Amino acid sequence: MSKFMLKLALAAMTIPGAAHAQDLGAELQGDMPALMELYRDLHAHPELSFQEVRTSAKLAARMRKLGFEVTEKVGKTGVVSVLRNGEGPTVLLRADMDGLPVVEQTGLPYASKETAVPESGVTTGVMHACGHDTHMTGFIGAAQLLSRHKDKWSGTLVMVLQPAEEAGGGARAMLADGLYTRFPKPDYALAFHDAAAPAPAGTIGYVPGFALANVDSVDIKVKGVGGHGAYPQSTKDPIVIASAIVMRLQTLVSREKSPFEPAVVTVGSFLAGAKHNIISDEAKLQLTVRSYTDESRKQLLDGIARIARGEAIAAGLEGEMLPVVTVKEDFTPATYNSPEFTLELAARFKERFGEDRVFEAEPVMGGEDFSEYRRADPDSIKAMIFWISGTPQPMLEALKKEGKPLPSLHSPFWAPDAEKVIATGAEALAGAAMHLMPSS
Ligand code: ZN
Ligand code: ZN
């Protein structure tokens, strides 16, 4: 146990956990009606990545009223709110603000009717289908508790409203815009995400170590020599070459990686050709590539380039005719929850919410750019993102009785039990922050 962790453990002993927990929980009940009103408003007015103008202005005004020093337009539409409250560590709490290009089908009275134009240029419906509206509301709930009880903690609180989690560049944009130089750099970073989990709403899941994966997008342009479909001898068919590439890519995970190292290579798009009897001169593949460690990521990306090149050479292509492999810049690094820190906070959550509401969850191959906050200085920042189940009780019962699957996040039908997620999120964030910044 490090010196600091020891200090934390001692601090935990001096704060009577249970009594303290009841205080926050009971107080939150009084805040919930107003918070649910805010939630319904945010839910009805989602905005796409880097377009969170209404959302950020509305929440910045709230933070200002609570006494935070608020700076807007950090990383395009991000908001940083700082509350300096004496000596002690710096804790960063983060909520993401963006919705998704999904047409809402929940039938809720406050369902979104908003539309917007994403990068593709085609107008779409917009929905908070990932639950970022619950994150923002829980975040405001925590800000209220922490600003009201400055006597219960000592340190610096940095609350970050981040744009563009879904598009993947929001955290990076805020860091590039001086999040750790213009504002106090955190010792700890915390966030929560709602989950469509087979557990009652309000249940907390934690994952020590790698929780979410490195996410890379890769484009492969396979070149060929086009011609008449009846005369293949005078062509180099890029569809056959690209098909061979797709098949051999399957061996990267199954034959080249250790079975104990998680990795995914998915070809999500294969575009080529226009007509039955024409051999195309080009095929395009789009891949998503998932891994945990930097080494594993490099092995996969190098392997993809090697296989694309190798299959083209096998087909008789060379030089400028070899495939062009592009790793896109929108890389999201794997989310690593500092293990000791995560277990320490999980123990505090168990005290606060009870053993049956807190469990260790499985890591997944999804991605989250919360990873960036620790990765910016991994030696000095400890970070943890935790899950809060939002699965409504009737959905959970249908799952148990009829085996009906749960709608996943990003589904047009995802209607979480927002009240449970928000109350749990607000109390968990505020409680954790108070624990990390003890008042004496
Ligand atoms: Zn999402
Ligand atoms: Zn999300």
What's the 99 CA to ligand 1 centre distance in angstroms?
Answer: 8
What's the 76 CA to ligand 1 centre distance in angstroms?
Answer: 20
List the one residue out of 226, 204, 48, 29 whose CA is nearest residue 123: 48
pLDDT of residue 7: 47
Longest CA span, the chain: 83
| CA trace torsion 138, 144, 147, 151 (10° rounding) | -90
Instruction: Please give the radius of gyration of the chain, using alpha carbons only, rounded to the nearest integer.
Output: 24
pLDDT of residue 118: 85
- Distance (Å, whole) CA 392 – CA 224: 52
The verdict on whether 52 is a catalytic residue reads no
List the one residue out of 206, 42, 198 whose CA is nearest residue 132: 42
Cβ atoms of 255 and 317 within 8 Å: the answer is no
Which listed ligand is nearest to 370 at the C-alpha? 2
What's the 289 CA to ligand 1 centre distance in angstroms?
Answer: 17
- Distance (Å, whole) CA 74 – CA 163: 9
Which listed ligand is nearest to 192 at the C-alpha? 2
List the one residue out of 426, 433, 336, 345 whose CA is nearest residue 381: 336
CA geometry: angle 47, 52, 55, nearest 5 deg: 90
- Distance (Å, whole) CA 404 – CA 406: 7
pLDDT of residue 104: 97
What's the 130 CA to ligand 1 centre distance in angstroms?
Answer: 5
Catalytically annotated residue among 52, 72, 96, 98: 98
Superfamily of domain 24-213+334-436, CATH level 4: Zn peptidases (3.40.630.10)
Question: Bridge partners of 420?
Answer: none
pLDDT of residue 370: 98
Catalytically annotated residue among 96, 165, 194, 344: 165
Is 218 in a helix, a strand, or coil? strand
Which listed ligand is nearest to 95 at the C-alpha? 2
- Any idea what DSSP says for residue 380? T
Cβ atoms of 368 and 290 within 8 Å: the answer is no
pLDDT mean values, one per 10 residues, the chain (440 residues):
46 46 86 98 98 98 98 98 98 98 96 92 95 98 97 97 95 98 98 96 98 97 98 98 98 96 97 97 98 97 98 98 96 97 98 97 96 97 98 92 90 96 98 94
- Distance (Å, whole) CA 97 – CA 54: 10
Residues whose Cβ atom is located within 5 A of ion ligand 1 = 130
- Distance (Å, whole) CA 260 – CA 305: 23
What is the residue extent of each domain of the chain?
Answer: 24-213+334-436, 214-327
What's the 239 CA to ligand 2 centre distance in angstroms?
Answer: 36
- pTM value is 0.90
Quick check: do 24-213+334-436 and 214-327 share a fold? no
SS (HEC) of 41-71: HHHHCCCCCCCCHHHHHHHHHHHHHCCCEEE
Phi/psi at 332 (nearest 5 deg)? -110, 120
The fold for domain 214-327 equals Alpha-Beta Plaits (3.30.70)
- Any idea what DSSP says for residue 253? I
What's the 402 CA to ligand 1 centre distance in angstroms?
Answer: 27
- Distance (Å, whole) CA 190 – CA 173: 18
